[in-house]
């Protein structure tokens, strides 16, 4: 097993362990001491079977900032330098003229009054690189000096880590998919970071068929497509599905012609993954034939004031022709019924071991 | 709507419809793309499809000659070239304008801008 220092983002800590476990399970990554991850600390030394496994994990994780192949771990700089002296290969293996390097400093638990340049100078005085040229923009090898503090006011770190960067997580995706620049959004489009975390919890894999029964403007299936899934969704609201009517953006007025769910996929170059949007009532499961099987269902069922849950009902007017069924009339759809329907749909249309992932509104007691 | 989706849809939700499958498909306009072929993914998809409906879909875009009239044996035994024909029907063809029609009641569900409307809104012909 190889020791790896994994540094997590400090946002959405409640999803940290579920996301980590889901990715490891999906990609068959074994971590010896997975149970040591908690939500109070933000970095952990974890034992992986290989660095390749770490790279795979990083290729999906939204909540891991970066991971370092841990070379040395110490309680003080004195001890750190001694350990590096005992293991000269840690530096020597990379101290060659044709491999540039960078050294970066990172501290967790204390930010104030830390002089990173001073730290790097001190380190490079004690541990010398004699051949490798420095390159801060695109180094071949990137080393990290990491300090962990117990309290923000502590003078000295509890631990110091040194190692080579294995890679970064995928937090850049939340920026790439930001709602401000997205072509088409609705009133309740899911936060991009959460939508990617959901795609991980749902274990979307390349080639999977992914379905969203309340697709809206496509916010939950865009991440699935980014991760290689083939996606489709149903939407009961004609205006939403066709991107007609008033924009959800303040002061914009009518939606522009260029806005559409497809345009969102084109914006992120995943339009090949979009199978179709269908205008349909997701409470009518018989719209799916018996061979219709999805690998994953993701959903954010409508609730509350901003997006009312709706389903169609038969026109109750007495003069309605019995043979001619009308679907115009819609009625409010109570929350419990909407979730029961979703689970029934999942039971009917998911493959064996398929996953359904959905948001459920709760009121937390203070 | 990619033709693959047609394979999953039925009109059984309509009153007095017992099978409602496969839906009849009228294609007035479609676009053909060249989406990357992946052997494994194509086999996974083919394992989910109902063959008779796939033939209906291929015929709707006048490309029934790309695939055999009867379902071949195991998908895994097919060559890449054979599988690519299926991939073309399932993934490369996007219906932009057309109709899905219930085989029993003949209820018409329009496809506009690539989006089938199974709610059948009045005023959309």
State the nearest Cα–Cα gap between A25 and chain B, in angstroms: 21
* Closest of B42, B62, B36, B53 to residue B103, by C-alpha: B53
* Closest of A333, A242, A341 to residue A286, by C-alpha: A341
Q: Which two tokens stand for residue B15?
A: 């009153």
Report CA A169 to chain centroid distance, whole Å.
9
How far is the C-alpha of A363 from the C-alpha of A349, rounded, in Å?
A: 30
Same fold? A2-170, A173-358 = no
Q: Tell me the pLDDT band of A324, cut-offs 50, 70 and 90.
A: very low
Q: Which two tokens stand for residue A137?
A: 């923009």
Cβ neighbors of A224 (< 8 A, separation 6 or more) are: A199, A202, A204, A208, A210, A231, A273, A296, A298
Residue position matching structure tokens 């109750």: A316
Statement: residue A189 has pLDDT above 70: yes
Rg value, chain B, Cα = 15
Cβ neighbors of B120 (< 8 A, separation 6 or more) are: A327, B107, B108, B109, B110
Statement: residue A112 has pLDDT above 90: no
Q: What is the mean pLDDT of residues B89-113?
A: 96
Give the tens place of pLDDT for each residue, A73-102: 999 999 999 999 999 999 999 999 999 999
Contacts of A293 in chain B (CB under 8 A): 48
Pick from A141-150, A251-260, B76-85: least confident: A251-260
Q: What residue of B is the nearest CA neighbor of A271?
A: B35
* Closest of A27, A42, A64, A17 to residue A171, by C-alpha: A64
- What architecture is domain A2-170? 2-Layer Sandwich (3.30)
**CATH domain B3-116 topology:** N-terminal domain of TfIIb (2.20.25)
Query: How many inter-chain contacts (A to B, CB under 8 Å) are there?
Result: 99
Q: What is the mean pLDDT of residues B25-45?
A: 96
State the nearest Cα–Cα gap between B100 and chain A, in angstroms: 12
**Plot region of B76 (φ>0 → left; ψ -120 to 50 → alpha; else → beta):** alpha
> Which pTM was predicted?
0.91
Residue position matching structure tokens 């009308």: A326
**Mean pLDDT score of chain A:** 91
> In the prediction, which pLDDT does A233 show?
97
Statement: residue A364 has pLDDT above 90: no
Statement: residue B123 has pLDDT above 60: no
**B40/B123: higher pLDDT:** B40
Contacts of A311 in chain B (CB under 8 A): none
How far is the C-alpha of A89 from the C-alpha of B73, rounded, in Å?
A: 58
Cβ <8 Å between A325 and B119: no
Q: What is the mean pLDDT of residues A254-279?
A: 95
CA distances from A75 to A20, A82, A147, A171, A358 (A): 28, 11, 10, 30, 44
Q: Which two tokens stand for residue A247?
A: 């924009």
CB atoms closer than 10 angstroms to residue A310? 16
> In the prediction, which pLDDT does A115 show?
87
* Class of the domain covering A173-358: alpha beta
> In the prediction, which pLDDT does B120 show?
64
- Counted residue by residue, chain B has a size of 125
Q: Are strands B24-32 and A350-358 parallel, antiparallel or unpaired?
A: unpaired
Q: What is the mean pLDDT of residues A99-116?
A: 90
> In the prediction, which pLDDT does A10 show?
94
Q: In which element (H, E) is residue B4 found? A: helix B3-6
Q: What is the mean pLDDT of residues A153-165?
A: 94
**Which residues of A make CB contacts under 8 Å with B?**
206-207, 209, 230, 232, 234, 236, 238, 241-242, 260, 262, 272, 275-281, 284-289, 291-293, 312, 325-328
> In the prediction, which pLDDT does A319 show?
42
> In the prediction, which pLDDT does A304 show?
62
Q: Tell me the pLDDT band of A170, cut-offs 50, 70 and 90.
A: very high
A194 in Cβ contact with A222 (< 8 Å): no
Statement: residue A21 has pLDDT above 70: yes
Statement: residue B122 has pLDDT above 90: no
Cβ <8 Å between B12 and A286: yes
Task: Collapse the DSSP code of A258 into the 3-class scheme (helix H, G, I; strand E, B; otherwise coil) and give the result.
Answer: coil
Q: Tell me the pLDDT band of A306, cut-offs 50, 70 and 90.
A: low
Cβ <8 Å between A292 and B9: yes
Statement: residue A308 has pLDDT above 70: no
Find out whether the peptide bond into A292 is cis, omega within 30 degrees of 0: no
Contacts of B122 in chain A (CB under 8 A): 326, 328
> In the prediction, which pLDDT does A321 show?
42
Q: What residue of A is the nearest CA neighbor of B21?
A: A289
Q: What is the mean pLDDT of residues A255-284?
A: 94
Statement: residue A315 has pLDDT above 80: no
> In the prediction, which pLDDT does A110 show?
84
Contacts of B12 in chain A (CB under 8 A): 286-287, 289
Cβ <8 Å between B115 and A276: yes
> In the prediction, which pLDDT does B95 show?
98
**Mean pLDDT score of chain B:** 94
Residue position matching structure tokens 């057309």: B98
Task: Collapse the DSSP code of A114 into the 3-class scheme (helix H, G, I; strand E, B; otherwise coil) and give the result.
Answer: coil
Judged on CB neighbours under 10 Å (0-12, 13-18, 19+), A283 is buried
Q: What is the interface pTM, i.e. ipTM, of the complex? A: 0.94
Question: In chain A, where are the structural domains located?
Answer: 2-170, 173-358
Residue position matching structure tokens 């939340």: A174
């Amino acid at each position: 097993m190889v020791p790896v220092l994994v540094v997590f983002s400090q946002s959405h800590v409640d999803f940290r362990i579920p996301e980590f476990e889901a990715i490891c399970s999906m990609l068959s990554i074994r971590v010896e001491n997975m149970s040591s991850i908690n939500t109070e600390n933000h970095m952990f030394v974890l034992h992986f079977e290989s660095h390749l496994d770490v790279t795979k994990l990083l290729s999906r994780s939204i909540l891991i900032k970066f991971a370092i192949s841990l070379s040395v771990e110490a309680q003080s700089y004195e001890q750190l330098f001694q350990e590096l002296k005992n293991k000269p290969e840690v530096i020597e293996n990379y101290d060659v003229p044709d491999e540039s390097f960078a050294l970066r400093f990172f501290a967790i638990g204390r930010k104030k009054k830390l002089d990173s340049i001073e730290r790097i100078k001190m380190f490079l005085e004690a541990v010398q690189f004699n051949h490798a040229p420095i390159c801060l923009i695109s180094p071949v090898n990137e080393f990290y000096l990491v300090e962990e503090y117990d309290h923000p006011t502590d003078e000295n770190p509890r631990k110091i880590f040194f190692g080579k960067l294995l890679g970064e997580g995928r937090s850049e995706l939340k920026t790439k998919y930001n709602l401000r620049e997205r072509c088409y959004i609705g009133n309740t489009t899911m936060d991009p970071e959460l939508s990617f975390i959901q795609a991980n919890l749902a274990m979307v894999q390349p080639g999977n068929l992914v379905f969203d029964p309340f697709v809206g403007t496509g916010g939950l299936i865009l991440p699935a497509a980014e991760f290689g899934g083939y996606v489709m969704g149903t939407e009961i609201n004609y205006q939403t599905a066709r991107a007609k009517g008033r924009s959800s953006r303040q002061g914009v007025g009518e939606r522009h012609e260029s806005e559409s769910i497809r345009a969102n996929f084109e914006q992120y170059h995943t339009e090949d993954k979009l199978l179709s949007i269908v205008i349909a009532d997701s409470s009518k499961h018989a719209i799916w034939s018996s061979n219709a099987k999805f690998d994953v269902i993701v959903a954010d069922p409508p609730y509350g004031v901003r997006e009312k849950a709706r389903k169609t009902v038969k026109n109750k007017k007495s003069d309605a022709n019995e043979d001619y069924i009308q679907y115009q009339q819609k009625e409010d759809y109570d929350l419990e019924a909407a979730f029961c329907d979703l689970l029934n749909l999942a039971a009917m249309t998911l493959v064996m071991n398929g996953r359904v992932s959905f948001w459920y509104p709760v009121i937390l007691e203070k | 709507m990619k033709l693959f989706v047609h394979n999953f849809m039925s009109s059984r939700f309509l009153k007095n419809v017992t099978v409602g499958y496969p839906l009849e498909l009228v294609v007035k306009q479609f676009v053909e793309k060249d989406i990357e072929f992946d052997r494994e993914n194509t086999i996974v998809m083919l394992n989910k499809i109902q063959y008779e409906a796939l033939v209906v879909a291929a015929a709707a875009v006048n490309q029934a000659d790309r695939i055999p009239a009867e379902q071949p044996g195991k998908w895994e035994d097919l060559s890449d070239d054979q599988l690519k024909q299926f991939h073309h029907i399932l993934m490369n063809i996007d219906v932009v304008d057309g109709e899905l029609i219930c085989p029993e009641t003949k209820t018409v569900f329009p496809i506009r801008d690539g989006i089938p409307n199974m709610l059948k809104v009045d005023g959309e012909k």
